Amino acid sequence: MSRGSSEPAIVLVRHGETEWSRSGRHTGRTDIDLTATGEDQARATGRLIGAVLAGAEPAQVISSPRRRALRTAELAGYRPTEVTEAAAEWDYGSLEGLTSAQIAQRYPGWSIWDGPVPGGEDADAVTKRFDALLTAISDHRDPGPALVFSHGHAIRCIAARWLAEPVTAGRHYALGTGAVSALGFEREQPVLLRWNLDNSMTGPQ
């Protein structure tokens, strides 16, 4: 992984829309399919990924094992070389399937960034998991960018850790379904090169 290049080191792709993402239900381990809109978004990510990579071939194609991520990769035109829980969504434990409003009835003022997350992962747990993923990507021997198909909160956490920020900084990074983002370096410092590109755009901005 070149630290002096303006090319992306990691391209992050959030899966397309599902019924639960559309309704705001927290979707961690539940294996749910894309909607028709989500499939259209997934196809559009293929064009966006191509624009962001600008002709470069990914050295790794990593995916969460959830169907919504794998289907997004398939429709985008990429075959994962690694399917791993390291790229899976935050585990919401007993809050799985609930909206933020429903959770706030139990825990006033609740957010995933501050918890609690009974039976699931806290910020320390996801920090360790995504740090390990970034280390594995960095240690990969083949040159070229990594392409990662993952999830909303997961990608926001990965971006925060890339910037050496706490995962809770991910609260500031809005990210839509089917969005493509890129991490890289500027003057050898880790930066966000692209963020939250979607199919309303013709290419990287």
Query: Annotated active-site positions, please?
Result: 15, 89
> What is residue 11's three-state secondary structure?
strand
Taking each helix axis from N to C end, the angle separating 152-162 and 123-139, rounded to the nearest 10 degrees, works out to 70
Tokens 């639960």 appear where? Answer: 20
Query: Residues 18, 21, 23, 28: is their CA dihedral positive or negative?
Result: positive
| Max CA distance (Å), the chain | 49
The number of helices, as runs of H, and strands, as runs of E, in the chain is: 6, 6
Q: How many CB atoms sit inside 10 A of residue 26's CB?
A: 24
Is there a contact between 5 and 141 (Cβ–Cβ < 8 Å)? no
Q: Given its phi and psi angles, is residue 109 left (phi above 0), alpha (psi -120 to 50 degrees) or beta?
A: left
Q: Which amino acid is at 25?
A: R
The single-letter DSSP state of residue 171 is G
